[in-house]
Structure 1
Amino acid sequence: MKSLLTSLRRSVARPPRVKHADTEQKNARPSNRFPGLKIRTALGVVITLASLHSASPPTIAQGNKPTNRKALVTGVWMHPSFFGVEKDKAIAKMRSTFDDYTRAGINTLIILVKSTSGFVYFKSAIAPMDTAWHWDFFGTFLREAQKHKMAVHPWFCVFTEGAQTGQVKNHPEWLIRSVRQETTTVVNPVLPAVREYEISLMTELVRRYQVDWIHLDYIRFPCEPTEVFFSFDEATRTLFRGHAGQDPVEIRYKNSGSVMWSEWIEWNTGHVTKFVRELKQALKGAQRPINLSAAVFPDAEKAKVLIGQDWAEWVREGLIEMLCPMLYVNQHGVFEKYLRRAVDIGRYHALVCAGIGISAGHNQNTPPGVHQQIQIARDGKADGFVLFSSGSLTKEFLQELMRKE
């Protein structure tokens, strides 16, 4: 009998991605205010997925989405703390973990390189490094993962800057302000300097390391602890007045019947998409094609309004190669409903890999529950799944991945 992961092998015929003629006109390159912003090549999309039997990761080459795929993305989100701060012990754990993952059929590792605090886990001349790791954590992780022929997605928590250090400490005006002028620990994507800074970190990593992917998380406005509905700082108010002719603080707040409130939401959402366009443009200068993956909220329509995350538009414009909707729920019917919506949006344009929560803020799963959701992802024609996260991926869950049906 084949294992659950092996049973996911299949061949699917799909037409090539349709490119949008106006995408290049929208892709304005940001000014080079920070190092690392000069990078190369336009990116097409063909995925060549190796057999899960060998646990080889999917790769993307020039062209369009494939017409014949043999395997799926089987991934895990990972945090540096999972391995610890002592280099020798961390390397030993990397090797044993990757051995275990390979046996379980896992082929893709999404490893945190910029935390919600704003610290990074790679060699950077731009952002503050987490001093607990005095060695090159990401470089070491990448080398060990490549020995196991695993795909590596460096994972950036994009606009979150909880520690307010480095450039953010020098620019408090970058922080999002509520309508009552309360500051958050998230920087404002409406501001060009913010977008340039965050992009500079990603292009710096691409310049220093041989990677094929960048993974975007928190690519949105904040939603916790309360919905701030975007920033009311002075610079943003000035920009919106120039755009729409009205100060946003004068708009009836959260009034869905107001056309100007609707314009405010659309305008802010457009700036998050503008960030993705600018990043895509910056990565065209890389020495190798760089693909984008993203962890996104489960419902595209609600995400667009509540947090400015219009990931369906990113797919339509061909800005992203892999979507990971975070479907952290134990109820399988709800999981399937939102999975199928995401697959419909991504169809023909991007890989859609279900984000399955093992232990998350929204759910606490079980090994049989994860098994069932993987089956739903297969039946729903998803391109794979990503498990959240390595800290909860215990022996029992790994055994479930290898369980014979």
Structure 2
Amino acid sequence: MMLIKKIFLLTSLFFLFHSINFSQKNQEIRAVWIATNHRLDWPPPTFDIEVQKKSLIEIFDSIKSKNLNTIYFQVRSNGTVLFNSSFEPCSFYIDGKGNLPYDPLQFAIQEAHKRGIEIHAWLNVVQVFAGGELDILNNPDHIVKRKPDWIIEYQENEMKSYWLNPAIPEVREYISDLIKELVKNYNVDGIHLDYIRYPGRNFNDDSLFNIYGKGLSKDNWRRKNITDLIELINKKIKSVKPYVKLGATPIGIYKNHSGMSGWEGYNDVYQDAREWLKRGLLDYIVPQVYWSIENNFEVITREWVNNSFGKNVIIGIGAFKDDIKSKIEKMIEYTRTIGAQGFAIFRYSSIKDYKFQNFLDNKTSTVNRKEQDENEIFEPVNFSLMNSNFLKPVLIKKSKDNFDVIIFSETEDEVMLKGSNDTDEEIIITTKIKSGKNLIELKSDLSRYKEILLIFLSSNKMMKLKM
């Protein structure tokens, strides 16, 4: 009888587990950028906290009503941030003084997840200042003032901008550590890299090239610096939370060719986006294909999808342009016909009053957060459908310092158990598992942890365990 009950329990868990869709690969991403630089979308021009919060709630409600399911929320621009950071000063937009009377990113995460919407922290990575808000630049805590030897001062068309120099190893460490801290402290669904490039071609970095060039051409060396930076960011965030997605938004044209011409990512700003995808440094990419349907949109979009190397390609659509906004439905349909993973709209204010016709059925790709909690699944939208045919793992307490973890898997994998509480996370064990039943014996008091997290490292899955 006991055996029959156990079989029934495991069978029930199996069907319960498979009744929820965990695959982002099979879901259409319907994303929108919320720009905070220069207060373009948010926050409003006031230091009233309640007005700021109300405004963001209204934006998120609007996004939900449009059946969009992913937000790229800008948290770093002009060398300031909208979260608590030990690396950089906070934005002046919240209280006018560079303080955070509340945590904008944490508030945004809570409100997005309430609505079943993914939220990715969007960062301007290499560019650290542009524009006329000189009070920001003149702050003694600004990176331009603190580390002038790290900075490229770039002049173009009488406009001056400031960029961190990715050729400097310490710069790459600084950027990646800043992002790692963010990922460790906040429950974001992804990191979204913008301005992950050089400012252009014409600036002097000969001295650094002489030190670090190592036989490469200068162009290839610059491309390698950007790629090395992305690789380091990937390594650091995955070491903290392997399930957090890493994406980037390069300029729209990789390389010019017949029927497609413009500013090139590869040659003009040293973005070798295909190399990033080929090497698996990104989980997704959002090329900024801000051309109209009559002018190269289809050609450029198709080329990105055809060179995805198995990664998610989400097409960036420039709805801020009238000739694009008027054809947005047709563009969305085209992304579907060629097999893109979805689309992203730049930016929220451009579609604030727009009603999408393409998905009035409300079939969004997000999973209901209440359903997640009830089924003890943590961040299910990050699960891959590949290798997902396993029974739900079980944590059994045998005594105060003895626990068993039972894992059923159809494939070989490597798993990590982490214990977490309000202040920190700790790796309990990392071990390989085989296909079939696996028993992991733990001689440790797990009651000191608030949560026990099980991470499948090869297949990028994660879930909470309860005793």
CA drift of 1:366 comes to 5.2
Matched, 1:235 2:208: yes
Rg larger in structure = 2
In the alignment, is the contact (CA less than 8 A) between 1:330 and 1:364 conserved in 2? Answer: no
Aligned with residue 120 of structure 2, among 146, 149, 153:
153
Alpha-carbon distance in structure 2 between the residues aligned to 1:403 and 1:290: 29
Moved more, 155-164 or 309-318: 155-164
The within-5 A match list for 1:64-75 is 66=25, 69=26, 71-75=27-31
CA separation of 1:231 and 1:380: change in aligned 2, threshold 3 A = farther
| Identical aligned residues as a percent | 25
Alpha-carbon distance in structure 1 between the residues aligned to 2:154 and 2:346: 31
Alpha-carbon distance in structure 1 between the residues aligned to 2:154 and 2:81: 27
1:257 corresponds to: none
Higher RCO structure (Cα 8 Å, ≥6 apart) = 1
Partner SS state of residue 307, structure 2: helix
1:132 corresponds to: 93
User: Structure 1: which 5+ runs fail to align?
Assistant: 1-47, 52-57, 61-65, 245-259
Alpha-carbon distance in structure 1 between the residues aligned to 2:154 and 2:316: 30
CA drift of 1:350 comes to 0.9
2:234 corresponds to: 280
Partner SS state of residue 73, structure 2: strand
CA separation of 1:102 and 1:123: change in aligned 2, threshold 3 A = same
Aligned with residue 364 of structure 1, among 308, 311, 322:
322
Partner SS state of residue 161, structure 1: strand
1:391 corresponds to: 349
1:382 corresponds to: 340
1:217 corresponds to: 194
Letter in 1 for 2:351: L
Aligned with residue 169 of structure 1, among 142, 145, 164:
145
Aligned with residue 315 of structure 2, among 312, 335, 354:
354
Aligned with residue 65 of structure 2, among 91, 98, 103:
103
Letter in 2 for 1:191: I
In proportion to residue count, which structure has more strand?
2
CA drift of 1:140 comes to 0.5
CA drift of 1:136 comes to 1.1
- What is the CA deviation profile of residues 79-99 of structure 1, one whole-angstrom value per residue up to 9, with x for unaligned ones? 233242532223223333222
CA separation of 1:151 and 1:365: change in aligned 2, threshold 3 A = farther
2:221 corresponds to: 267
CA separation of 1:132 and 1:315: change in aligned 2, threshold 3 A = same
TM-score (norm 1): 0.71
RMSD: 2.7
Alpha-carbon distance in structure 2 between the residues aligned to 1:94 and 1:288: 29
- What is the CA deviation profile of residues 253-308 of structure 1, one whole-angstrom value per residue up to 9, with x for unaligned ones? xxxxxxx8xx1101110111011111111123214522111111122233122111
Partner SS state of residue 326, structure 1: coil
In the alignment, is the contact (CA less than 8 A) between 1:178 and 1:231 conserved in 2? Answer: no
In proportion to residue count, which structure has more helix?
1
Letter in 1 for 2:188: V
1:191 corresponds to: 168
1:14 corresponds to: none
CA separation of 1:403 and 1:288: change in aligned 2, threshold 3 A = closer
| Paired residue total | 312
Partner SS state of residue 80, structure 2: coil
2:461 corresponds to: none
Alpha-carbon distance in structure 2 between the residues aligned to 1:392 and 1:307: 27
Letter in 1 for 2:107: T
CA drift of 1:333 comes to 5.0
Partner SS state of residue 239, structure 2: coil
Aligned with residue 293 of structure 1, among 234, 242, 247:
247
In the alignment, is the contact (CA less than 8 A) between 1:189 and 1:195 conserved in 2? Answer: yes
In the alignment, is the contact (CA less than 8 A) between 1:221 and 1:308 conserved in 2? Answer: yes
Aligned with residue 345 of structure 1, among 299, 307, 315:
307
CA separation of 1:183 and 1:109: change in aligned 2, threshold 3 A = closer
CA drift of 1:316 comes to 0.4
Moved more, 211-220 or 293-302: 293-302
Letter in 1 for 2:330: Q
Aligned with residue 178 of structure 2, among 190, 201, 207:
201
CA drift of 1:339 comes to 0.4
CA drift of 1:374 comes to 0.8
CA separation of 1:366 and 1:346: change in aligned 2, threshold 3 A = closer
CA drift of 1:351 comes to 0.6
Letter in 2 for 1:270: K
CA separation of 1:130 and 1:59: change in aligned 2, threshold 3 A = farther
Letter in 1 for 2:292: N
The within-5 A match list for 1:11-50 is none
CA separation of 1:324 and 1:371: change in aligned 2, threshold 3 A = same
Letter in 2 for 1:285: S
